[in-house]
Amino acid sequence: MTCSVLQVLELICTREAGAVFEAGGLNYVLSFIKDNGHLVHKDTLHSAMHLVSRLCGKMEPADSGLAPCVESLSALLRHEDQHVADGALRCFASLADRFTRRAQDPAPLAQHCLVTHLLARLAGAAPQAAPGAAAATPGGPAATPENSSSLPRSPP
């Protein structure tokens, strides 16, 4: 039944996302994912997250539902399903864009350790050097026959 409800909401959102948003759909679906996401099939969970992404596009900086939305999205950034965590990140990007377009301070988005989480994700995405390998310094000298004793030299 849950899957059917989400499918109908998605269909409505294709034409009237504002109606679903105004009815409180965003926070209902966020609560569903946060509280019951581990109990439903992965496809249902992903469908719910797709719905959240569409509804986040309707959120305005002055909306009264912003604080609970930010809290739920922050929790979803740490979700075990990477699709859900990535969707939450896209929602934050959408909200940050909305704040920027309205010339509003995006500080409310940074509550619940968003910046810390983003920096940790960035650090985790950085390529790791092989153990024992010397790290190249950006802008530093490249390995050339003149400055590297490990490169074979051609006879004079």
Q: CA 84 to CA 109: how far, in whole Å? A: 18
pLDDT in tens, 32-60: 999 998 899 999 999 999 999 999 999 99
Percent with pLDDT over 90 in the chain: 65
Q: Report whether 61 contacts 99 (CB < 8 A).
A: yes
- State the chain's mean pLDDT as an integer: 85
Q: At what angle do helices 66-76 and 114-125 cross, to 10 degrees?
A: 30
pLDDT in tens, 129-149: 666 655 555 555 555 445 444
